[in-house]
């Protein structure tokens, strides 16, 4: 076996891969400058007052660093971090089991917090405000309530759909932060940093090309880098040039604008099957064979940001840029609309 391919097979799993690339300090976290400034102030104030951080909510599309920031904040406060998700907390007992294992100043990170069930959410309110939890034991005449006193902890919630959070839950967070897509120059720095950690010799044009195609998200950039690294090992390339990047990404159908196979399928479906739209989310999901939630949370935000589609009260419609992308002449009515 080629020794380089053997080295690739010995690489860590995806979770370890992401952990190795994850910044450990606020100063190492690239981008989201306004949010970093706020968090720095909170951390410094908490250390001076010797209090835990207030509860924090991070919102925004997937892959922008919500989980990474939770890891960083726990390290900045020299505290432990426990991670769970909204769907996993389907019973109050599950929530109680996690909360009772926390120690003072610990962090609890709940991903997809908008998917918490309403009964569990009700139990979370006193835990966030008063650091206590009242558990109902048994049913009927034998029912009794037990109060659990909790240590002072910090809840960090993450959501891709902040509009689905109830107002009582949203109002209990001390600071709400929306993470935005990254600028090209920020992504270039992230790609260069990750390539150094992965010991990939990559020139600047190659790094810029990866940054252009990663859909504005560091997670996607790191996943593309992993594929490019594997491709270069298998092909025997010592250095990562622009040609290597182009050939590697062409193999997985990531085009020059960062659109993948599903993105182009969405555009083609709206143009050819629904005559440019409008089309409802459910109908579009059935037509492309994808989950509606995945379309709305993963694919749509980037297509809207880049100006390929837009949402209207009647449904999704494509723009003239989508017709240009597909090299199709738009209908005359579409030209007048846009």
Mark the binding-site residues for DNA, compressed into ranges: 311, 316
Burial class (CB in 10 A: 0-12, 13-18, 19+), 2: exposed
Q: Of residues 106, 111, 208, 263, which has the active-site annotation?
A: 111
Q: Of residues 66, 208, 215, 226, which has the active-site annotation?
A: 66
Annotation says 67 is catalytic? yes
Nearest-10 Cα torsion for 258, 35, 162, 168: 170
Annotation says 111 is catalytic? yes
Q: In the Cβ-directed half-sphere of 64, how many Cα atoms lie within 13 Å?
A: 24
Annotated binding site for Mg(2+): 67
CB 311 within 8 A of CB 304: yes
CB 248 within 8 A of CB 262: no
What is the total residue count of the chain? 338
Q: Of residues 208, 215, 219, 325, which has the active-site annotation?
A: 219
Q: Of residues 160, 217, 220, 319, which has the active-site annotation?
A: 160
Counting other chains too, the contacts that 239-243 makes at CB distance below 8 Å and 24 or more residues apart are: 239/201, 239/202, 239/203, 240/195, 240/200, 240/201, 240/202, 240/203, 240/206, 241/203, 241/205, 241/206, 242/203, 242/205, 242/206, 242/209
CB 285 within 8 A of CB 292: yes
Residue given tokens 């020794």 in the structure block: 3
Annotated binding site: 21-22, 63, 66-68, 129-131, 172, 182, 219, 311, 316
Strands (E), 215-325: 309-312, 315-318
Annotation says 84 is catalytic? no
Annotation says 66 is catalytic? yes
Annotation says 160 is catalytic? yes
By DSSP bridging, strand 81-85 and strand 56-59 are unpaired
Q: Which two tokens stand for residue 125?
A: 């309110």
Q: Which active-site residues does the annotation give?
A: 66-67, 111, 160, 219
């Amino acid at each position: 076996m080629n020794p380089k391919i053997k080295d690739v097979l010995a690489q860590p799993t995806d979770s370890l891969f992401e952990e190795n690339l994850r910044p450990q300090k606020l100063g190492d976290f690239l981008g989201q400058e306004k949010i970093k400034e706020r968090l720095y102030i909170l951390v410094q104030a908490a250390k001076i007052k010797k209090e835990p951080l207030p509860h924090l909510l991070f919102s925004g599309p997937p892959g922008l660093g919500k989980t990474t920031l939770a890891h960083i904040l726990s390290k900045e406060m020299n505290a432990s971090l426990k991670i769970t998700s909204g769907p996993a907390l389907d019973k109050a007992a599950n929530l109680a089991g996690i909360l009772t294992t926390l120690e003072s100043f610990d962090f609890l990170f709940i991903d997809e917090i908008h998917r918490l069930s309403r009964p569990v959410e009700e139990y979370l309110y006193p835990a966030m405000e008063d650091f206590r939890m009242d558990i109902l034991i048994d049913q009927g005449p034998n029912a009794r309530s037990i109060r659990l006193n909790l240590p002072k902890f910090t809840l960090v919630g993450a959501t891709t759909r902040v509009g689905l959070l109830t107002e009582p839950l949203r109002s209990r967070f001390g600071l709400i932060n929306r993470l935005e897509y990254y600028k090209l120059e920020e992504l270039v720095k992230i790609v260069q940093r990750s390539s150094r950690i992965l010991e990939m010799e990559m020139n600047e044009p190659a790094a810029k090309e990866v940054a252009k195609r990663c859909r504005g998200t560091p997670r996607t950039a790191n996943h593309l880098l992993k594929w490019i690294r594997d491709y270069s090992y298998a092909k025997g390339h010592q250095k990562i040039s622009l040609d290597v990047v182009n050939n590697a990404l062409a193999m997985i159908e990531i085009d020059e604008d960062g659109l993948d196979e599903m993105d182009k399928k969405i555009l083609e479906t709206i143009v050819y099957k629904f005559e440019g739209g409008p089309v409802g989310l459910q109908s579009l999901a059935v037509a492309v064979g994808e989950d509606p939630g995945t379309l709305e949370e993963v694919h749509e935000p980037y297509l809207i940001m880049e100006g390929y589609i837009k949402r209207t009260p009647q449904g999704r419609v494509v723009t003239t840029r989508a017709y240009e992308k597909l090299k199709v002449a738009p209908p005359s009515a579409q030209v007048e609309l846009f």
